[in-house]
Amino acid sequence: MLDGPPTETALTLLPSPQPAAATAVPATATPQLEATSEPTPPSEIPAPPNDPPQFAQDGEIGIADGVVPEGTTVFDSDLPAIANLDPALLHALRQAANDAAENDVVFYVTSGWRSPAYQNQLLQEAIINYGSEAEAARWVASPATSTHVAGLAVDIGPYKALDWLIQHGDNFGLCQIYGNEVWHYEYRPEAIESGCPEMYLDPTHDPRMQP
């Protein structure tokens, strides 16, 4: 997954979030973990170039596939993008959102669960827009490997929400997974006691992204 004042919508303020993917590595290779002790502040991370559109409008892709309307929050259970998230992840997000609201911080969901068809459309758009499968893999996963398709990932905005999560997310088990995707969060229950694990430099270093 991206990243403004609470009166602005996440779609306006954030670069379109992209889930992770990677090209295959040899079976004997050890995936590389690269991270810093502290996440880079969202305001210092540039948007990826030529972002594929987050909202699919062509063909039959729509709300049922996980497209999220502007202004969606973690409490919009009527939307498949929210309802199909892993229950533990959704519970942690709602707990964090309630705490953040005390500081006038709103979590907007720019992407949650996605159908395989939606994920595939985003991947094909990424290959065209980024110019190669290798570059697209740094931002968009295949349907077979995407944590969005599995309901295990959510992309959050705006910047104010991301700043809050950088400071407090681990208290709820919510962790940024990739150094290049400040918007992409997953649930890591161990983070509540020991802090979030080291981030992968980008999704191509994540062993889960290997086909």
Summarised one tens digit per residue, pLDDT across range 162-207 is 999 999 999 999 999 999 999 999 999 999 999 999 999 999 999 9
Residue 72 has what pLDDT? 97
* Alpha-carbon distance values, 47 to 42, 44, 161, 196 (Å): 10, 10, 17, 23
In three-state secondary structure terms, 138 is coil
pLDDT tens digit string along 11-49?
333 444 444 444 343 443 434 444 444 554 444 444 433
The count of C-alpha atoms lying within 13 angstroms of the C-alpha of 62, restricted to the half-sphere facing its C-beta, is: 3
Question: Is 106 within 8 Å of 6 (Cβ atoms)?
Answer: yes
CATH topology of domain 10-20+59-209: Muramoyl-pentapeptide Carboxypeptidase; domain 2 (3.30.1380)
HEC sequence for 9-30: CHHHHCCCCCCCCCCCCCCCCC
pLDDT band at 59 (very low <50, low <70, confident <90, very high): low
The helix (H) or strand (E) run that includes residue 89 is helix 87-101
What ranges do the domains of the chain cover?
A: 10-20+59-209
